[in-house]
Structures are given as C-alpha cells and as structure tokens.
Chains A and B, each alone.
Chain A
Amino acid sequence: MTIAPERPTARPAAEQAPPAGPERRRATGGARATDVYAVLGAAAAALALTWLLFARLLPFSGTVGFVLVAYALFLGLYALLVSFDEDGPAVRDRVAGVVVRTLGLVLLAVLVFVVAFTLWEGRRALVHLNFFTEDMSLAGPLEPLDTGGVLHAVVGTLEQVGIALVLTVPAGVVCAVFLNEVPGAFARLVRTIVEAMTALPSIVAGLFVYATVILALGMERSGLAAALALSVMMLPIIIRASDVVIRLVPGTLREASYAMGASRWRTVWHVVLPTARSGLTTAVILGTARGVGETSPVLLTAGFTAELNALPTSGAQVSLPLATFELVKSPEPNMIARGFGTAAVLMLLVLLLFVLARIAGGRGPGQLTRRQERRRTAASRADAARFAPAPARTAPPAPPRSTP
C-alpha cells in the first residue's frame, strides 16, 4: 500500500529509456541469463560447501550422503540467490520448478537405466547367433555361450500367448460389445464383476489353473495350462480396455445408423466395430504386452524344460520370462548372461508390440488411412454407377463426389 504512490514517479524515467523506433517482439519464454547464473552459482556453492563439510568439518562420509547434502544445500542456496532480486511467489516458483524437474529426470533416468542395464548385461549372449536358433538341451551350466539358446522359450511364448489370444480376444470383444450395446442390469453386473477381476493377482490366476486343470483334472503341466492361466489374467484387462474404446465411439454415428433403419447388429458390425478398430487393436496389443511379460501364472502351470517343445498340449513348455527367471538362479556367469539375454529378447518383443500398438492406435475413431480412403472412394463410385439410371450406364463413370 505504501509503495503504490511512489510507482508513478519512477515509471516515466524507465519508459523514456528505450529509443523510439519500430517495436520489436520480445521473447517471453526461455531462461534469462540471471536464471542460468543463479543455477550455476548455487550448484558451485553447494558442491564447495558440501566438500568443506565432508572433508574438513564434520565426520560425515559416503557418496550417498554427499549427494543428498549437496542437493539440499543447492536448493537452499538457489532460493537465497533468487530471493535477492525476486519476491516470495517467484522464489517458490523457481524452487518448485527445480524440484519437479529433478524428480522427473530421476524417474526417467532410473527407468531408462533399468532397460539399458538388462541390454548391457545381456550383450555377451546376444552377439551369438546360436542364441536365437538353438535350445538349451545341449548346453550345460558350464558350456560357453556359443552353444545353446532360447529358441524353445521364444516358441513357448509365441504359442502360449497365441492360444491365450485366440481364447480371450473373441470373448473379450463380444463381452465389451455386450456391455455397450445391450445395456441393462445384467450388463452392469457383468461390468462390476469384470472390474473386480482386474484386481486378481496374477499368481492367484496361476494358482487357480494349477488347482483345477492340473490337480483336479489331472492334466500335466503344459503350454496349454499356461495359456489358460494367461487367459484368466488377460481377459479382464482386454475387456476393460475394449469397453473404454467402444464407449468412445461417437453416439451420433450410432444414431445416424439407426435413423437410416439399420438393425442393431448391422450398426455394430458396420459402424461401431470399424470405427473402434484401431482402438481395439491397441487394447489387444497392450493386453498382449502385459501377458507376454507375466511370469507368475506360467511359473505354476508350464513346468520347466531345456528342450524345444512345440506341442503345447503335452509336456513342459518354457516361456521367455520363465526362462529368464530360471536361468539367473544359476550361479554360473554364463547362465546369468543367458538370463539377461533372454530378458533382452523379451523386452525387444514387448517393444515391438508397443510400436505396433502406436502404429495401429495413432488415429482416433473414424479417421482413415490413405488406403482406406481410396477404397471408400472407389466403393462409392461403384455404388453411384450402380444407382445411376440405365441409359447413363454407357456414359463415363459418375463424378467422384456424387456420394460420400
């Protein structure tokens, strides 16, 4: 309040300073030089002060303590430096900005490190071509890395996830369509139960299949049992994801279809499902990525073998995550390297699925690719030619924009 009257006297002096001329657009974003100096100065001061504390003044030691103390000092000093020429809210803004950036970068760095660590540790196994073309039946724990590979685990993963997809995708999509297109009390009940089942821990899904299929029905541990366990786990995930996607289909499209006299199933088949296709693909692929990496249901149901077993219905069949898990139990460095290599292959598979999901899910409902657009145009031209009166048939084809 007391400052306000003084401002008008100060302002004209400042406003006269810039020379007359065309106004130049100022960049308001970006860091100013003072910001950079404040950060650098605070960092230098914090490092020096921490070194002084640790090496000369106090009985502290250790890298971790050094980093923590240095970071705390940096925050304090930075706040102090900024407070010399800014007010309270601006100081809080700067400090919060530093903290948020640090947290974000720490998380991203750790996550990238987890992946890079696995690839780096697996590099010794991954450079051998036989790692991708042989199984482990001839490779003992002491065998060098140029014998043996994970072909059996790759085959097992593909078969188990394939069977699980064959079971879950039709069931999941039909159920999601049911939830959205046949609403009612029953659909609400199903939706609640499905939501509840997404909470089922994956190991309990494995335990269920182990207790029913293997113990009660007397089937041996096999790829099929593992696929069933994966299905129990993946089904609720796929249903929920597809449900969300189908709910996003614009209601106006459905209403337009009904208004033109289409029946329910024609609307679903020709309007709802094609519109939601890319989203459904993404949902299925992301569900697959979840299923591919699950170890615990497979651990209980698939058994373990070092040999290639392409038959899912009989005999133990190993998958990539399970092979990783079993290989790193060994104390031999070669086996551990193989384990990391297997994990790297698994991650590459997940990455591949993820990229596929990005490609498939890049567009929203109703947006077409170039090829789809060309196909639609051709179909509508053919329709126009068909609808045209008989003498017009001999005439050149109808103009391209006759029907949408």
Chain B
Amino acid sequence: MTTETTDTTAPPGAPDPRPDGPPDTPRRLYADPGPADRVFRGVARTGGGLVLAVMLLVGGFLLHRAWQALDRAGGSFLTTENWEPDAGRFGIAAVLTGTVLIALVAIVVAVPLATGAALYISEYAPPRLRRTLISTVDLMAAVPSVVYGLWGVFWLEESILPIARWISAYLGWIPFLRVEGADPDDPLAPPTVYTSSTFVAGLVVAMMVAPIICSIMREVFSQAPAGEREGAYALGATRWGMIRSVVLPFGKGGMIGGTMLGLGRALGETIAVYMVISQVFTIQWHVLQTGTSSVSSLIALRYGEATAFGMSALMAAGFALFVMTLIVNFAASSIVARSRSGASSDA
C-alpha cells in the first residue's frame, strides 16, 4: 500500500544490493490508513470542530453582546444594585448577592440531607431495598424543576411560615436571621414579611439539588475498597468507626465535587426560584425576610421588555452568572479528578 519506500525491487529482508550507496537513515514509520479511514477521521474531526464552533459561538456572542453594556457601566456593574439599564444605572450587586445567598441556603440544607441519604443507602439500608432507593434518588434528580417550583409555591410557602417565625423569634439576634418589621410576640401579625424569602427559595432549590448531590456521593461511597472496610472491622471498629475512618476519607473528593456540582446547578436554577421569590433590587442580607433576587429570574422577568441596550445588559448579567458557574464547575471537576475515588466517578 505504502508508496513512500524508494526501493521496491528488493524483497523485504534481503541484504541491501547497494552496499556503497548512501548510509541507512531511520525511516519514518507511517501506515497509510486508506481512504475510508481518512474520511472517518475527517468526519470525526469536523464533528468535533462543529461542536467546538457552536460552543465558541455561544460564548463569544454572549461576551460580545455583553461587552457593550460592560463597557458603558465599567466597574459600577459590580457595585450597583439597581437595574435600570436605559437610565444607565444598572449592576449585578443585588442580583448576584441574591443568587449566591439562595444557593448557599440550598447547599447548607441539601448537603447534610444528601450525605445522610447517601450513607444510608450505601451503608445502612437492607440490600433488598437498596436498588429501589437508588432508582428513586436517580429519578428524583430527573424531576423537572417546574414541579419543585409548584411544590414550593403551593405547599412549602405556607407550611414553612411557622418555622421561619420560630427561627426569627429565637435566633433573630444573629444578624442575617433577623426579620425587620416582624413582631414574634404578636400571634396575629401578618405573615407576609416571611413569604417569598431567600430561605423559601433556598429550600426549594435544596430539594432540587439534593438528589443530584446524593447520587454522586452514593456512587463514591459504594466504591470504598472492601479490603479497607474489612480491615477496619477486623481492628474492632464499629460501623460508624468504619465509616469515619474508611468511607468518608475515601469519598471526600467526591463529596466536595458533588457539593460543588450541586452548587453550580443551584446558581443557575431559574424557574423554581422565579416562581417563589418576589424580585427586589436591593441587597437583601436577611434570608428570612420577604423579597430577594437572582440573576436568572431577572433575565426571565426583564427579557421581554428590554431594549437593545437592555438586552446587552441582561447578556452581561447572564455572562457573569455563566462565569461564576464555570469557575465552580471546573473547581469541582479538578477536585474530583485529583481525589482517590475520582478517577471513575463521573458526575
């Protein structure tokens, strides 16, 4: 097949007929893959290139359109709380804070629950029940966010009021748990100061991301080497002692990675948050107080009425959110990849 060889008359393995010719040089090894393979490589490369082009187009277009607004707003884009792009006063200080707070509430609630559930499924549950539980959790991770949103609006918002009231009454001395305008001693006080808060939105998102975190953690926990488990038992460890000394250290990378992937999902969540919160454009540190904001619900709220420049400003907000989730996701995947358990666990 190959036509590169110069000497075609001599059979392979025969001594060189021209001993006084030019000295032997190492030949370049090259196997001609043939036309079919070249086409295959071309198609695969084109496919990869096409996907790359689409992805770069999305990112590049976002950055390009966002640049218009970023250029005009400058540094004040990060410090302004208002959102009036046509008046020139707009920034993501309030919405980004709201997004981060909602995601933090979600993570603080979801991680203990998910860790407990993952440990329960992989270590405590009876083996007959285990497969069912795994399927349930995986299915829950695929439940659409609008369903969680419905649950949040029509059930959680009312049912959570006593809890919010209780926390603000007894823990209100902690600054970020205080609710202004609430009087815990008055049983007839209107509950509206507690509705549509960061806390409620965070709880809804927590229920959404908990199955995702849980299924990653369970995957990692179940890979803890059996030899080390048995070693711990042989040394007289109790079940919890074995978990603390074998399973949790082994799964640490997966736990952190799963948490951060959940955080990434929580940051980008739109519909469930949009249904629950009432958007305000001030930084709301009090997580129990009504009114909060998030980048994605800002976009959902304002895209329809936006002028060309308003669109550019929304793109800038979306781009900021994208950059944030990007950093979180890359941090997560690098942590997972470096951990002992990470090589085979892919979220």
Contacts and interface: CB of A to CB of B under 8 A. Distances in A.
B61 A211 contact: yes
A208 B147 contact: no
B36 to A, nearest CB: 6
Residue from the set A64, A105, A201 with the largest chain B CB neighbour count within 10 Å: A201
Interface residues of A, number: 96
24 contacts: A62-B162, A62-B166, A97-B239, A102-B116, A104-B117, A107-B117, A107-B210, A174-B48, A182-B48, A190-B51, A196-B326, A201-B322, A201-B325, A203-B270, A203-B299, A203-B300, A205-B58, A210-B303, A235-B54, A265-B36, A292-B144, A293-B143, A296-B270, A300-B303
Contacts of B321: 201, 204
Given A62-B162, A121-B154, A182-B45, A325 B121 contact: no
B315 A211 contact: yes
Contacts of B162: 62-64
B77 interface: no
Contacts of B116: 99-104, 106-107
Contacts of A172: 51
Interface stretch (B7-15, B134-142, B192-200, B279-287): B134-142
A248 B125 CA distance: 29
Given A100-B116, A235-B51, A177 B44 contact: yes
A96 interface: yes
A195 B207 CA distance: 25
Nearest to B275: A325
Interface in A286-304: 286, 289-290, 292-296, 299-300
A37 B45 CA distance: 67
B56 A193 contact: yes
B264 interface: yes
Contacts of B119: 100, 104
B151 interface: yes
Interface in B105-155: 112-121, 123-125, 133, 135-140, 142-151, 153-155
Interface stretch (B22-30, B223-231, B327-335): B327-335
Given A186-B45, A201-B325, A296-B270, A347 B147 contact: yes
Interface of B: 33-34, 36-37, 39-41, 43-45, 47-52, 54-56, 58-59, 61-62, 65, 112-121, 123-125, 133, 135-140, 142-151, 153-155, 162-163, 165-166, 207, 210-211, 214, 237-241, 243, 264, 267-268, 270-271, 275, 295-296, 299-300, 303, 311, 314-315, 318-319, 321-322, 325-326, 328-330, 333, 346
A328 B44 contact: no
Interface of A: 62-65, 89-90, 92-93, 96-97, 99-108, 110-112, 114-115, 117-118, 121, 171-172, 174-175, 177-179, 181-182, 186-187, 189-190, 193-205, 207-208, 210-212, 215, 232, 235-236, 239-240, 244, 263-266, 268, 286, 289-290, 292-296, 299-300, 321, 324-325, 328, 336, 339-340, 343, 346-347, 350-351, 353-354, 358
B238 A293 contact: no
A121 B47 CA distance: 46
Contact of A196 (B211, B243, B330): B330
A196 to B, nearest CB: 6
A107 B214 contact: yes
Contacts of A350: 139, 142-144
Given A65-B166, A199-B322, A212-B61, A293 B207 contact: no
Nearest to A210: B303
Contact of A295 (B146, B207, B241): B146
B144 A208 contact: no
B151 A118 contact: yes
B119 to A, nearest CB: 5
Given A102-B116, A189-B52, A354 B142 contact: yes
